[in-house]
Chain A
Amino acid sequence: MARKHKPKLAVWKFASCDGCQLSLLDCEDELLALVGAVEIANFLEASRAVVKGPYDISLVEGSITTPHDAERIHGIRRASKFLVTIGACATAGGIQALRNFKNVKEFTSIVYARPDYIQTLNKSTPIADHVFVDFELRGCPINKLQLVEVLSAFLNGRKPNTPQHSVCVECKRQETVCVMVAQGIPCLGPVTQAGCGAICPAYGRGCYACFGPKETPNTPSLSRWWSHLGVKPDDLVRAFRGFNACAEAFRKESEAHEK
């Protein structure tokens, strides 16, 4: 279908490792076709050219951790027709949300000699805590094929096809023998959303939940199974307190095992 104007794509960064936006540049085979279909209007990791909004799609990476960023996200929302968050930082606060369980002042003084130079908020929060988000793409990092699917869906006015079932389904589909049942390796796959391709079990280790909680996760039941395998409450806290520590289901489960 011919379009009059190429849709404008913007990529924005908040507190993050840059890995999720790098996923776009990692689409080595699709990148030149993609930039043929859209106008890259703001993507500082790749280009110094900046085109003014409004933007048809904004991809937002990273979590909100500073007073300045808490303001900046509102401007981006106002300038964007669709706002899609990419990755665990933007959708759940990321690994830096581990501060939410502690006193951030203490954290600042551990890392920085002059804490008074550092401006930071007490909590690391997902984008949806601040503005309306049209779609959240999970993963630490996101799966680049899912990113292409999401862009293609929004460009064509349809819903993205990204399953919300567990990693277990992916293991079954690729005939990976269950590492928890067969080898007694603690695995977060039963409560974690699919999307990575169940790579950890395929490499002989338990899933560590990069993609966050699946729909309706039964975390207490999984914790009981982990306990049967000899996992101690301290380690259960650590397991649920990873890259999606502040996703609600995981936060509650980790708090349930805290002394």
Chain B
Amino acid sequence: MKSKVIKVDYLARVEGEGALLVKIKGDQVADIQLKIFEPPRFFEAFLRGRKFSEAPDITARICGICPVAYQMSACHAMEEAFGVKVDGPIRALRRLIYCGEWIESHALHVYMLHAPDFLGYESAIQMAKDHGAIVRRGLQLKKAGNEIVTLLGGREIHPINVRVGGFYRVPAKAELAPLAERLKWAREAALETARWVATLPFPPFERDYEFVALRHSDEYPFNEGRLVSNKGLDIAAHDYDLHFVEDHVARSNALHSRLIARGPYCVGPQARYSLNFDKLRPVAKEAARAAGLGPVCRNPFQSIIVRSVEVVHACDEALRIVQEYEMPDKPAVAVEPGAGTGYGCTEAPRGILYHRYRLDAAGVILDAKIVPPTSQNQKTIEDDLRQFVSTRITQPKDKLQWECEQAIRNYDPCLSCATHFLKLNIEHE
């Protein structure tokens, strides 16, 4: 019986180190293994004994692409433990810095990591030779996101201005004002992005996912909301551990998450969009419709459109925040540490990011648990590949390998996060 093996030793255009092994026997997929060999870094272990106030800066170092997400989940978890509520302009500024990270991270993925797959380029740098104006637009859009993070956070990677309770320093109204013109340009560029990605060729592939995302009563979710799914989940963040478990498999330095009741699930832009379409800003809803998306998106290859729509939303939301901002009296809410357990779950660009900390009376961390989006999507990525490869089995090996890599990049997987994950091998045995 004829068989093939597709092996990708180092997956490219993903954040971190991973590999893929696909074994094909005859016309059947025999095995799919997504391996994460990103070295373990043991964050949950060395957080023990650190002060609550250090968690935002330390956990930011799990990921250089989405440090703001780690800072936000850490802050919310600590504030829950201490009974602190952050509201008004400080809460708005948190949404603003998160908008900046979504714009920066999504623009990076749409233009630099994912679009080259659809157009047959090895990289955006190669793509720039034929599509210079498009790549330059992507870089400027990414820069607009970074400018928000830098203004509010001090720098784009591992910002220094986020603390439990709020910020070290908040900008005056006049300091934020110049962002408005930049964001108006960015919103136009994001709308052009959505129109452009809608013209890319998408394989006809859909799955009936269980989408899991935050849902908030009156806004598209960033920092707060209940954890919901399209298959009946509706819980508060602090009940996460009652409904989700992580398994440790031999091939991976990242833990695999599943819903105890139903198994694999999908987090990230598609889940967020499909569960919260009604909460998008009108301009983003219109961009989605114009790009041919319905209120639910089940084709993972179209995640590039969903990300672009979220960039439109984030630009418009950021603009609203900048225009309505009034400087608060104090940059942070006072925090009094105490013994207890805090839970935080926020929407990182790649999906829900869960933190849990148990603290002593002085606010020293006794134990920590961090579940990043990519480890939650790992099973779903493998299931996507199994089904996708079975429909493409007659393709030449090189083409099939490229398509498998593309199917993984649909999730913008962050291996650094998941290990606190990718390399591709396709074996035809």
Decide if A96 touches B248 in the complex (CB within 8 Å): no
Cα distance, A44 to B253, chains bound together (Å):
19
Partner of A18 from B44, B247, B416, B420 at Cβ < 8 Å: B416
B101 at the binding interface (Cβ < 8 Å): no
How many residues on A have C-beta within 8 angstroms of the other chain's C-beta atoms? 65
Among A21, A22, A65, A68, residue most surrounded by chain B Cβ atoms (within 10 Å): A22
Decide if A118 touches B61 in the complex (CB within 8 Å): no
Decide if A238 touches B123 in the complex (CB within 8 Å): no
A32 at the binding interface (Cβ < 8 Å): yes
Residues of A4-27 at the interface with B, using a CB-CB cut-off of 8 Å, are 13-23, 25-26
**Binary contact readout A101-118 vs B (1 if CB under 8 angstroms, 0 otherwise):** 010101110111110011
Chain-B contact segment, one of A129-137, A162-170, A202-210, A214-222 = A202-210
Among A17, A44, A98, residue most surrounded by chain B Cβ atoms (within 10 Å): A17
Cα distance, A97 to B248, chains bound together (Å):
24
Decide if A32 touches B63 in the complex (CB within 8 Å): no
Cα distance, A40 to B122, chains bound together (Å):
11
Return A19 CB to nearest CB of chain B, in Å.
2
Q: Which residues of A contact B126 (CB under 8 A)?
A: 47, 49
Instruction: Name the CB-closest residue of A to B132.
Output: A32
B184 at the binding interface (Cβ < 8 Å): no
How many residues on B have C-beta within 8 angstroms of the other chain's C-beta atoms? 71
Cα distance, A62 to B61, chains bound together (Å):
12
**Binary contact readout B1-42 vs A (1 if CB under 8 angstroms, 0 otherwise):** 000000000111111110000000000000000000111111
Return A206 CB to nearest CB of chain B, in Å.
10
Instruction: Name the CB-closest residue of A to B140.
Output: A28
B289 at the binding interface (Cβ < 8 Å): no
A37 at the binding interface (Cβ < 8 Å): no
Known A19-B64, A102-B46; contact A203-B16, beta-carbon cutoff 8 A: no
Partner of B158 from A120, A140, A205 at Cβ < 8 Å: A140
Q: Which residues of A contact B143 (CB under 8 A)?
A: 28-29
**Binary contact readout B95-138 vs A (1 if CB under 8 angstroms, 0 otherwise):** 00000000000001000110000000011111010001001100
B50 at the binding interface (Cβ < 8 Å): yes
**Binary contact readout B309-329 vs A (1 if CB under 8 angstroms, 0 otherwise):** 000000000000000000000
Instruction: Name the CB-closest residue of A to B12.
Output: A48
Partner of A111 from B40, B67, B128, B414 at Cβ < 8 Å: B40
Decide if B17 touches A13 in the complex (CB within 8 Å): yes
Decide if A111 touches B122 in the complex (CB within 8 Å): no
B393 at the binding interface (Cβ < 8 Å): no
Partner of B123 from A15, A40, A107 at Cβ < 8 Å: A40
Chain-A contact segment, one of B51-59, B84-92, B190-198 = B51-59
Q: Which residues of B contact A140 (CB under 8 A)?
A: 61, 158
Q: Which residues of A contact B48 (CB under 8 A)?
A: 110
Return A39 CB to nearest CB of chain B, in Å.
10
Decide if A99 touches B248 in the complex (CB within 8 Å): no
B359 at the binding interface (Cβ < 8 Å): no
Instruction: Name the CB-closest residue of A to B38.
Output: A15
Q: Which residues of B contact A150 (CB under 8 A)?
A: none
Residues of A72-120 at the interface with B, using a CB-CB cut-off of 8 Å, are 94-96, 98-99, 102, 104, 106-108, 110-114, 117-118, 120
Q: Which residues of A contact B50 (CB under 8 A)?
A: 238
Known A19-B157, A203-B154; contact A118-B67, beta-carbon cutoff 8 A: no
Decide if B42 touches A46 in the complex (CB within 8 Å): no
Among B11, B12, B63, residue most surrounded by chain A Cβ atoms (within 10 Å): B12
Return B398 CB to nearest CB of chain A, in Å.
12
Among B54, B112, B160, residue most surrounded by chain A Cβ atoms (within 10 Å): B160
Instruction: Name the CB-closest residue of A to B10.
Output: A44
Cα distance, A202 to B48, chains bound together (Å):
30
B168 at the binding interface (Cβ < 8 Å): yes
A66 at the binding interface (Cβ < 8 Å): yes
Q: Which residues of A contact B249 (CB under 8 A)?
A: 117
Instruction: Name the CB-closest residue of B to A35.
Output: B125
Known A18-B15, A46-B13; contact A108-B40, beta-carbon cutoff 8 A: yes
Cα distance, A242 to B206, chains bound together (Å):
46
Partner of A26 from B14, B135, B157, B168 at Cβ < 8 Å: B157
Cα distance, A168 to B124, chains bound together (Å):
40
**Binary contact readout B243-256 vs A (1 if CB under 8 angstroms, 0 otherwise):** 00011111001010
Cα distance, A197 to B301, chains bound together (Å):
41
Cα distance, A45 to B16, chains bound together (Å):
7
Residues of B363-378 at the interface with A, using a CB-CB cut-off of 8 Å, are 367
Instruction: Name the CB-closest residue of A to B60.
Output: A17
Cα distance, A49 to B51, chains bound together (Å):
44
Decide if A25 touches B140 in the complex (CB within 8 Å): no
Partner of B42 from A18, A108, A197 at Cβ < 8 Å: A108
Instruction: Name the CB-closest residue of B to A97.
Output: B46
Instruction: Name the CB-closest residue of A to B422.
Output: A44
Decide if B160 touches A200 in the complex (CB within 8 Å): yes
A199 at the binding interface (Cβ < 8 Å): yes
A243 at the binding interface (Cβ < 8 Å): yes
Partner of B67 from A19, A29, A98, A110 at Cβ < 8 Å: A19
Decide if B248 touches A49 in the complex (CB within 8 Å): no
Cα distance, A246 to B109, chains bound together (Å):
34
- Write 30 A-B pairs (CB below 8 A) sorted by A numbering: A18-B416, A19-B63, A22-B108, A22-B157, A26-B146, A28-B139, A28-B142, A28-B143, A32-B125, A32-B128, A35-B125, A43-B123, A44-B11, A44-B12, A45-B15, A46-B113, A47-B13, A47-B123, A49-B123, A62-B39, A65-B40, A69-B39, A98-B42, A104-B42, A108-B40, A112-B255, A117-B249, A140-B158, A141-B64, A204-B331
Interfacial residues, chain A to chain B (CB-CB below 8 A): 13-23, 25-26, 28-29, 31-32, 35, 40, 43-50, 62, 65-66, 68-69, 94-96, 98-99, 102, 104, 106-108, 110-114, 117-118, 120, 140-141, 196-197, 199-200, 202-205, 208, 210, 235, 238, 243
A40-B123, A69-B39, A205-B169 given. 19 additional CB < 8 A pairs?
A: A15-B41, A16-B416, A17-B63, A26-B142, A26-B156, A44-B13, A46-B125, A47-B13, A47-B122, A65-B39, A66-B39, A107-B46, A110-B42, A110-B45, A112-B255, A120-B40, A200-B160, A205-B160, A208-B160
Q: What are the 5 A-B residue pairs with the smallest beta carbon separation, nearest first?
A: A19-B64, A47-B123, A48-B12, A49-B122, A107-B45
